[in-house]
Structure 1
Amino acid sequence: MIKFYKFHGTGNDFIMLDGRELLTIPTPDEIRQLCHRQMGIGADGLIIVKPVEGFDFEMIYFNADGSLATMCGNGARCAVAFGYISGMSGSDITFKAGDGGHSGTLQPLTDYKWMVEISMGNISIPDHTGESTEIHTGTPHLVIITRDPDSVNVPVEGRRIRYSEPYQTSGINVNFLSIRDNRLKVRTYEKGVEDETLSCGTGVTACAAVAAMKTGVNNWIIETRGGILEVRLKKNETIFDNVRLKGPAAMVFCGEFTGSFPR
């Protein structure tokens, strides 16, 4: 039997595994089975958290389709909470992700909920921005400005764009963004999940950067279908730096499953 923990960050949900208890990493097939909504635990992704030299811990993130990803903002916030309750870190955290080193801070709200803020990587300012902007925030995103994201059929339109000729092979996350009264509203289609998710941390960060280029405002409150997130950043000539993502992370349950790993 293998113990797991189920977390979510504003509705973006993850299976969390303690890497100290694993002898090997689950295969893509096993990850797909565990993340399956009907025949598994169900999640947008799976995260392994384990100690690593030079940091409090390392997070290894897999999409629901079993593919390895470099960074997940909401997943990282949940990993910070898991590192805290598992004794790998305190309330001030450093961690390693696929895109490099990050820091984080944590404030307990209840026994099972925390407010978590993390550093995100620097963001290169794209050469072209308009109603549609490609931008990389640890993973590639396409940000489309629209009057009302709720009027968009995100699963259908997002899938159409993600599998269109420019993105069919490598994939892209598609965000539908509205900017109104210094507040953003975002809905996201995520590659690797191949559906809309209730929230996407790298996605809201991408949208905040695009909104900053449009308006000059660097601090944003962002409404997602799963809750409220905050992004702060600083614009320089070619990059955004001091990028911070903040929002709640919660553990919803834990349990055990049978599986073919560890082997």
Structure 2
Amino acid sequence: MIKFYKFHGTGNDFIMLDGRELKTAPNADEIRHLCHRQMGIGADGLIIIKPVEGYDFEMTYFNADGSLATMCGNGARCAVAFGFISGMSGPDVTFRAGDGGHTGKLQSLTDFKWMVEISMGDISIPEITGVSTEIHTGTPHLVIITQDPDSVNVPVEGRRIRYSEAYRINGINVNFLSIRDNRLKVRTYEKGVEDETLSCGTGVTACAAVAALKTGINNWFVETRGGAIEVKLKKNKNFFENVRLKGPAAMVFSGELTGWIHG
């Protein structure tokens, strides 16, 4: 039997597996089964961490539909906490994701909750910005500025855009953003989940970058449906650097997989 852990970062929830216990990663069908809300554990994605040369660990992230993704900001924050409790890393950590190397810093709040700050990759400044802006923060996002994200039917409108002619093949995450009183409110439709999620780390980062381009403010508190996240970044000529994402990560429960995936 293989042990699993259920984590969430501001409502963005993940199944965590210790790669040291796996001979191979679960296949796409197994991941879809495990992430299914009614027939499995239920999660927005599945994360495997294992030691790798040059870093404390490597994080491999799969969307709920079984597809491999490059980076997940909230998932990475949860991975830092999981690395800590599994003994792979300490409170200061280096890890590798699909988009390259990252650092993380962890502060224990309770036995099962941590405040985690991670570095994100540099963000290229898009040539075209406006009400709708395409931007890549480890995964592609479309940020749409609106008066009030709560007035948007995010599952319907996000799905319409994601499956439009422009994005049908490669997909895109769709974020609805409002900027008010130096605070951001964000709701996100995530490809791979194919629905709205309570929070999205790369999406929050994308929205903070777009807000920085619009206002010149580089530090933001971002309200998501699952809680608040802090984003800090520094604008250079053609890109943002020193991008940091900070927020809580919590372990919800753990259990054992009995015959659901191969060992």
Q: TM-score, normalised by structure 2?
A: 0.99
Aligned to 1:212: 212
> SS of the residue aligned with 2:230?
strand
Residue 103 in structure 1 maps to residue 103 in structure 2? yes
Kindly provide the CA deviation profile for residues 125-160 of structure 1, in whole angstroms up to 9, marking residues without a partner as x. 000100000000000000000000000000000000
Mapping 1:68-147, distance limit 5 Å = 68-147=68-147
Shift of 1:112: 0.2
Kindly provide the CA deviation profile for residues 155-188 of structure 1, in whole angstroms up to 9, marking residues without a partner as x. 0000000000000000000000000011000000
Aligned to 1:228: 228
CA distance in 2, matches of 1:50, 1:257: 18
CA distance in 1, matches of 2:259, 2:125: 44
What are the ranges of 5 or more consecutive residues in structure 1 without an aligned counterpart? Answer: none
What are the ranges of 5 or more consecutive residues in structure 2 without an aligned counterpart? Answer: none
Aligned to 2:34: 34
CA distance in 2, matches of 1:30, 1:262: 9
Aligned to 1:13: 13
Aligned to 1:242: 242
CA distance in 2, matches of 1:34, 1:209: 34
CA distance in 2, matches of 1:24, 1:211: 41
Mapping 1:172-187, distance limit 5 Å = 172-187=172-187
Structure 1 stretches of 4+ moved >4 Å: none
CA distance in 1, matches of 2:239, 2:2: 43
Shift of 1:260: 5.1
Shift of 1:2: 1.5
Asked if the contact 1:24–1:261 (Cα under 8 Å) also holds between the matched residues in 2, the reply is: no
CA distance in 1, matches of 2:36, 2:226: 20
Asked if the contact 1:72–1:201 (Cα under 8 Å) also holds between the matched residues in 2, the reply is: yes
CA distance in 2, matches of 1:143, 1:261: 37
Aligned to 2:53: 53
Shift of 1:262: 3.1
Mapping 1:151-190, distance limit 5 Å = 151-190=151-190
CA distance in 1, matches of 2:98, 2:15: 18
CA distance in 1, matches of 2:18, 2:135: 32
> SS of the residue aligned with 1:240?
strand
> SS of the residue aligned with 2:150?
helix
Asked if the contact 1:122–1:242 (Cα under 8 Å) also holds between the matched residues in 2, the reply is: yes
Q: TM-score, normalised by structure 1?
A: 0.99
> SS of the residue aligned with 1:186?
strand
